[in-house]
Every structure is written in structure tokens, then in C-alpha cells.
Amino acid sequence: MGGPPGRGAGGRPGISGGCPAVARPGRGPCRRPYNSRMTSSYLRGDDVTAPLRIHADREARTLRLDWADGHVTVYDFDLLRWLCPCAYCRGEAGQPGWLDSNPILTAEQTRLVTIDPVGGYAIAPAWGDGHGTGYYTYTALRAHCQCPACATARAASGHPDAPGGHS
């Protein structure tokens, strides 16, 4: 029944503070059965980009990820919405996305309603304005960590997202 501490059934990362307790129309129940035949490195916990715990604190408006290697990443909901990777927000087929227009996000657009796991590799937040098509991979969430140690490492590597980096 369950796996290592901080993990849900079958060793999946435990997501707290996200899913409502009831099934959602058209989206099924929040917790999905675990299929051990489809175990990925994320689910086994042998990858540094496997969060052991994910906690959405709606009052503080933060999402905290505790990683398998002991690192902790905290995103505020505004930044998390700005990082939305979906085609509508980022663009596709050479066309700019909605976020490229540099909109001013409203309180509803940054109000986290639910957060669901996507396989063993991502989370899918749903926002107060109804938007919910972005799959935030664990790899991307780790890569965009805003802590001083990660920002320094990005700058040292010449990463384009680092302050003074190349676009």
C-alpha cells in the first residue's frame, strides 16, 4: 500500500493540496490507479527530477516540490502561470502565444484550482479562468528553479534564461 515516505500509492509522487475529493465532470476521479508495468525512472525515484512531494499552498499561493536529491523548489502561482508550456500560451507553428503579448494576469488567471499528475513525468494545473492544458514536466520545473543555487548554476553554464544570458 504506498511507497516511500512522501509518495502516493505505488511510489508515485504525493500531491497534496491539489485535487478535490470528488470526481470532476469529464475528467474522472483525481487519483488514478498505478500500473506497475509502466514504471519509469520518475516513479522508481532513481532520477533527480523525481519529486518526492508536491504541495500546493493556496493561501500562500505557492507550489513546493521536494526533489529526490533533497533539493526544494518553490514557485509562486504567478510565475507558474507564466511558465505555462501549452501551445495557446507559448505559440505553435511559428505563431506567438498568448503569453508573448505580455498580458497582465488577473487574480483568476493565477488562482490554482486543481493540480493533477500526468503519468510519471509531469503535473497539470488547472487555473481559475478555466485554463488547464499545460503539462509542466518535472524536468522543466527543476530546470526553471528560481533558488539562488540554481540561478548561479544556470549563469555559470551560459544558459539563456540566466541573468545576462543569451536569448
Could you state, in order of their start, the residue ranges of all structural domains in the chain? 47-157
- Here the cell at position 100 is 508573448
- Here the cell at position 121 is 513525468
What is the percent of the chain where pLDDT is above 90? Answer: 54
pTM value is 0.68
Give the CATH number of domain 47-157. Answer: 3.30.2020.30
What is the percent of the chain where pLDDT is above 70? Answer: 66
**pLDDT surpassing 50 at residue 29:** no
Residue 93 Ramachandran class (φ > 0 left, ψ -120 to 50 alpha, else beta): left
User: What does the pLDDT look like over 49-58, one tens digit per residue?
Assistant: 779 999 999 9
Pairing of β 112-118 and β 91-92: unpaired
**pLDDT surpassing 90 at residue 7:** no
Integer-rounded Cα radius of gyration of the chain: 16
